Structure formats: structure tokens, C-alpha cells
Amino acid sequence: MNEKDPNQTGCGDVIEARAQPPEETAGTTVSPRAKSAAGLPSILRTMDVSLKEMGVGRSLKTLLQVNQKDGFDCQSCAWPNPDGDRHRAEFCESGAKAVAHEATRKLITPEFFRQWSVSQLAEQSDHWLEQRGRLSHPVVLQRGATHYEPITWDGAFALIAEELSQLDSPDEAAFYTSGRTSNEAAFLYQLFARQFGTNNLPDCSNMCHESSGVAMRESIGVGKTTVTLEDFELADLILIIGQNPGTNHPRMLTTLERAKMNGARIISINPLPEAGLMRFRNPNPQEYKSALQFLPGLLGKGTELSDLFLPVRINGDIAALKGLMKTMLEDEERNSGLRVEEILDYRFIRTCTAGFDEFKADLKATTWGEIEEGSGLKRDLIQQAGLMIAGAKRLICCWAMGLTQHRNAVGTIQTLMNLMLAGGHVGRPGAGPCCVRGHSNVQGDRTMGIWEKPSDAFLGALGREFNFNPPRRHGCNTVEAIRAMHEGRVKVFFALGGNFLSAAPDTEYTAQALSRCRLTAHVSTKLNRAHLICGEQALILPTLGRTEKDVQASGEQFVTVEDSMCVVSPSRGPLEPASEHLLSEPAIVARLARAVLGERASVDWQSLAADYDRIRDHISRVVPGFENFNERIRRGAFYLPNAAREREFNTPTGRANFIVHPIPRHHLEPGQFLMMTIRSHDQFNTTIYGLDDRYRGIRRGRRVIFLNREDVKEAGLQAGQLVDLTSHFEDEQRTARHFIVVPYDIPRRCAATYFPEANVLVPVGSVAEKSNTPTSKSVVISLTPSDFQGMIKAQSGTKGVLP
């Protein structure tokens, strides 16, 4: 294979396509941030996108089936559905966008690819690519070609089989999975990869909640949430840390509102004062007792969610959490013998935990000066929150990627687990850790065996069920797969869903890695940038969406998913497929396996693709908790077992473990900032639905950097000025150009930018300890004025447009 200039990216030896989105800033406006989430703007935005993409009839047919017991599971976040009765509108604005963009009437046909070369497509924005519509035919980019062209399904599978057969080792292939994939497809996919001979199964969890799983398994023996929706109705205090539910998990706001009505208090810890953490105007009329309550609730101030907000410094969470626990410990000692009930649950600590003495000693040794410096918070504010937690008997702690994407992410989450263990808030009604997954079935994929480090027990059960010897050698996670492609050790990359290039760190490095493959193949519903930065040959394989009927040889099928709270639910789409040329994900995997494995297979792949009940029968004998899968799922959703919920801790000590970590320290040179990447309100993961972030006051633009007002002044910058961002890691530097300075309520020396635009700044070598998750929330950057200077007005109360 020919070596390429490391500064170039593209497909084969002809195309040079841009890996980063265009540097568009024209037309961007900035206004004051919103003070509440949802409300009438949410309804109007939902109606606008639904009607534009689907029309009236199609909108009603889909949206009224989202998250219903006889409908389909939302493609968006993994927030669970109610166990009992459900509203007819059991969806949020974000979910409606996901449904509308999948069920759009717009199609990308072979004629589109004849008109547009790959390099021309790469010059377009991610938003433009998303707006083109559904992929309708399998297409191939041949060696040396400039345009994708149609290919038959048999031809596509034959090409993949040919390339895989030429590898010197099965480990020269990597099989990526996104969180949209169903349980049935994921189970078949990992089975195929292991029958092929590799555990190279990187997935999107490697880039988001891997840190949560690692941390929780060491602390409490299970890497999943231990609470249910019912627990939120019983909680008297909810701590939300490193999470923005208003944009990333909007249906959670309804759960929080109900908890508030039941008397719960909420503490929010986050660098930005997000609208969804502050107030919620519920747009669902079924949540109100009468029409007289609906309009005031919709148009008024809404429900105040956070009782206390702590604007922590980026990655100052360990310091803040230690401050909370130090407050609890000091209050316990100060009032020893005077309280009717203890603050710390010593009975639980004695009978169910290990490491408490070391934990207590560490808190005593940690000074308030270290806590204030590390967190960026004042002692009295931390103590106010700590006393609220001290008085709570049923505490739920929620978090997301604000905690998981730092070098010390595992330590941060284990420190949060220490807080919960100290109060006995695990395995108690109304209490527990709530790791909020960000993609519909990312948790289910892992349960089904999508993991580069499978357990011996899982591999043993898989081997017995299918009469083969699965590979035992651990495979590549996402970052390791990128490195392996870059170094030529992985030569074929296959992605079951997702937008790998835009989701991964270090965009240019990842682009170089992909372009060095002999073949890249993507199973997708929509066009994205990962299709444009590809190997010597490339395939786009169009698949059915969640909204569509799946008819196989035995009749109409359904699939299943697992949400953030370990609930497995069925999913059935109501629409006819967008194109007769689409295949379901299970069918794609099965036909791929037949083409690649041939006589080597110990599986009747055709039979499994014909009837998904047969897949579920196998799952029931391989994956614990899925016994009698078909019988149970036909009765409705069911919970998977969770030992920690029953206070059974499957750790080496047999107990829940207090695990102590130091407060991290970031050395910033003058003029440097600690940057985190975030979503806008008009995107889901890497999918860009629109160019507005109305909660933060950004319209028609995405290349913005949020900075503290004092930092803007101190750096000699102005609101609306264009700057280039340079990240600093070891002796490496990376630059992203043309970002608009937006003064914002963010702690000093901190910065926030949208991904994927800023992913180019995230070093591939900067990862979380133990989990190997990219540190997208801890990037050291500096700013320089851009060569081209435009300006917008961004002062409070004014609007302006970049010329």
C-alpha cells in the first residue's frame, strides 16, 4: 500500500477531500441566553421540522407512535419510557427532529452521486449533507474514482469478502458500532466479527460513557444505572453534575418537574448555566390538569428546576465533590450525638463497603484552599450544597459526558460514587447513581457483546451456543483502532451506523487513518462526512430506519433496545421503507457473514435474518437476564437484573468500594484556556439539524467560542471578533480557524465550543486513564486573531450579524 503525505486526506490516490467542516461564519447572530427550556418555541420548532420533512399525514403517523408500547423506540437519547400509561405525545423536540430527519420524504438517488463528486460533497457543511435526505441505493467508490456509483448488494458483499480474505490476520479489520443499532443487529454483528476471528469491536461508548462503566464496575460491581423512573418520584434530592438535559435528554425535564412537584430539591453543578438546568416550560398539554393551567405553564416562567447552581470550573468536579463530602463529614462530627439520624450511613458503610477509613482520611487531609482552587467555587456555596445533601435520605446523582471525557474521568465518577456510598444511597428506593446514556441503544449494544474486551464468561457462552472457539485476545477500542489504521495495522474498516470521522477525536489524524485503509464501508440512513473521507475503496450501504417496517421471509419483524435504566423494549416502525433497495441491519450483517465466512460458518445466517425470533432465542441462551426473551418481550418491556440495585456488589472485595483520587491540577500558561466541546440545541451527536442554539442565543452559526467576559477583556479581544484556536498537548499543536468570540457566563480560564467543529483540537493521544476515552472536555487551547477579521455585536441585549 502506498504511503501518503500525512498532511493530506482523501480517498484513494485521486481525491483530496476536506476532513473538517467549512469555516462558515457569515450570518451568525448572538443574543442573550434563554432563561428557560422548552415551552412554545419547542412546539413551534417541532412542528416546523416535522411538517417540512414529513408533511402532515406522515408526521401524525410517526410522532404518535414514538416511544409507544406498540410503536418504535426514539432514535435519539436513551432516557426511559414510563412503565405504565404513556402520553400520546411521548417525545421531545430533539426526538421529533430525529424522527423527522429519518422519515423525510427527500431521497438521495444514484443521480445525486453522478452530479456530485466526493471532493465537491466534502466542501459542503455537515448541515447541508444532512438535509439531502435518505440514502436509497448501495453505492461504491472504486479505486481512483471521483464519484460514488451504484452497486448491487451482492456486489457490495463480494467486494467486502474479497478485501477481508486478503488480510494477513482477522485483526487487520475493525468493526465499529453506533448506539442506534438494535440488540438483534448488535448480537449478530459481534457474532460475525468473532467468527471471522477478531475482537476489534470499537463502538461509540468508547468515546462517551466508557469511563462510567469502568468506574462503576470497580466501585459497585456493575457499569449501569441502578435507579428507575419510579425512584425519581421518591427522591428528596437530585444532584445533576456534568449534564445538560435540556439539549441532550429533554424528556428528562418532565421527570425532574414531577420530582419537584413531589417535593424533591435539585442541585446543578456545571460550568455553564444551561436553560434546561434552570427552568422548564412543559410543552405537553397532557401534563396539566386543565387547559387553564396549560397556557400559563407553556407561556409563563415555567417550573424552577435547580434550587442551587454551582458554576464549577471545567474538570473541577473532584474538588467540588470533595468539598461536598468534607462538609458532610464536618457537620457529622460537629453535631455528633445531637442528631436523631446520622448524616453518613454507618450501618451501610460497615456491612456493605470497603475503603472507608482511607476515604475519611483523604477528606480530612484535603484543605478548603485546595478545594476552592480546584473547583473555582467559594467555600460557602459548596457548604450550602453539602448541607442540603447531608439532610437528604434519598439522593439520586445524574451525570453525562461532562464527567466522562477528562483524563481523570474514571476518578471523578468514582469520587461521585464515594458521595453516594457515604450516605448509603445505593440500593435504596428513591436513591442511586444515574448514568444518563446519550444514544438510544448504546447500552444495549454493550450488553449484546459489542466490546473489545469481552469477559471469558460471555465468550464461553457464545462459543458453546454456536459451536466455535471465539478469539480471546482483546481487540481495539476506538482510539486504538484509529491508531491501528493510521499505522497500517488495520486495513479494512466497517461501520454499522454512526459518523465515525466526525465523532472521533483529532479530525485530521482520524482522516489520515481512514484514508490509509484498503476499504471503508458504512451502513447508514443519511449522508455524512465519514462517507467522504474514506479508504482506497469505499461503500455506503443504506439501511432501514427505526420508523420503517421490517419485513423478512417469515413476515414483519420487530427489534429491541435497552435504555439507560436497563429496560428492554420492543420497537416496530409504521412506515413503508424509503426505498425498495434498503436492507435491515440484521439482514445486512447476515448477508455479510454468509459472503465472508462461507463454509467456515457454524451459523445459519439466512435463517436468522428471516426470523428475528431465532436471534432472540440465541440471545436468551448467551446473555444473562434475557432468559425466555421472546415470551417476555411479547408481554411488553422488562427490566434486566442489576445486582447493585439489590445491594449485591460483584467486586473483588465483595463490597462496594470507596476509591480515593487526588484533585487534578491543570497548568495553564498565560493566555491559555481549558476548553470543552459541547452540543448545540439543533444537533444530536454529530447530526446537525439546524444552525441555531436558541438556549445560548446563537443563530445561524456554529463556529463560536464561549469565554468569560473578564477573560475576553484581559486577552485584548472583543465580542464578535474572529479568532483561531490552537490546542496544546505535549509537544503537539493543532489549529482550528475562524471562531467567533462570545462573552458568556462561564468560569475564568474556561472555554466551550461545539463539536464536531472543534474535534480537530482534541489530541488522539489525550485519553482518560483506564477507559481510553478521548478528553474532549479537557483541551488546553490558546487564541490568536484570525487573518480575516469580521465582527458581530454580541453585547447583552443587542443583536448583530457578521458581514
H helix runs in 142-290, sequence order = 153-165, 183-196, 210-220, 229-234, 245-248, 251-261, 275-278
Query: Global pTM?
Result: 0.95
Residue 779 pLDDT > 80, yes or no? Answer: yes
The domain over range 29-35+667-785 is classified in CATH as 3.40.640.10: no
Set of cell numbers at residue 405: 471525557
Digit-coded pLDDT (tens) for 204-253 = 999 999 999 999 999 999 999 999 999 999 999 999 999 999 999 999 99
- Specify the DSSP element, H or E, that contains 495: strand 492-496
What mean pLDDT is predicted for residues 150-174? 98
Where are the domain boundaries for CATH 2.40.40.20 in the chain? 29-35+667-785
Residue 803 pLDDT > 70, yes or no? Answer: no
510: nearest Cα among 482, 538, 489: 482
Set of cell numbers at residue 561: 433496545
Residue 470 pLDDT > 90, yes or no? Answer: yes
Residues 6+ apart with CB under 8 A from 347: 424
How far apart are the C-alpha atoms of 771 and 735, rounded to whole Å?
Answer: 26
User: In the structure, what pLDDT confidence band is assigned to residue 788 with cuts at 50, 70 and 90?
Assistant: low
Residue 107 pLDDT > 60, yes or no? Answer: yes
- Give the model's pLDDT for residue 5: 39
Are 78 and 250 a contacting pair, CB within 8 Å? no
445: nearest Cα among 284, 308, 559, 346: 559
Are 249 and 277 a contacting pair, CB within 8 Å? no
Digit-coded pLDDT (tens) for 34-46 = 999 999 999 999 9
Digit-coded pLDDT (tens) for 360-369 = 999 999 999 9
The beta strand positions in 497-636, using DSSP E, are: 519-524, 537-542, 550-552, 555-557, 559-562, 567-571
Provide the 3-class DSSP secondary structure of residue 10.
Answer: coil
User: In the structure, what pLDDT confidence band is assigned to residue 333 with cuts at 50, 70 and 90?
Assistant: confident
The residue ranking higher by pLDDT, 325 or 793, is: 325
Averaged pLDDT score across all residues of the chain: 93
How far apart are the C-alpha atoms of 161 and 776, rounded to whole Å?
Answer: 36
User: In the structure, what pLDDT confidence band is assigned to residue 341 with cuts at 50, 70 and 90?
Assistant: low
Residue-wise over 282-303: b if at least 16 C-beta within 10 A, else e?
A: bbbbeeeeeeeebeebbeeebb
HSE of 262, CA atoms in CB hemisphere, 13 A: 18
87-91, 103-107, 168-172: which has the minimum mean pLDDT? 87-91
Residue 500 pLDDT > 70, yes or no? Answer: yes
What does the DSSP assignment read for 654-667? SSEE----PPP---
What mean pLDDT is predicted for residues 568-582? 97
- Give the model's pLDDT for residue 10: 45
How far apart are the C-alpha atoms of 485 and 491, rounded to whole Å?
Answer: 6
Where are the domain boundaries for CATH 3.40.50.740 in the chain? 100-207+444-639
Looking at the domain that runs over 100-207+444-639, which CATH code has it been given? 3.40.50.740
Set of cell numbers at residue 306: 435547580
Cis peptide before 574 (omega within 30 of 0): no
Digit-coded pLDDT (tens) for 274-309 = 999 999 998 887 777 776 677 777 788 889 999 999
Q: How many CB atoms lie within 10 A of CB 671?
A: 14
How far apart are the C-alpha atoms of 581 and 549, rounded to whole Å?
Answer: 14
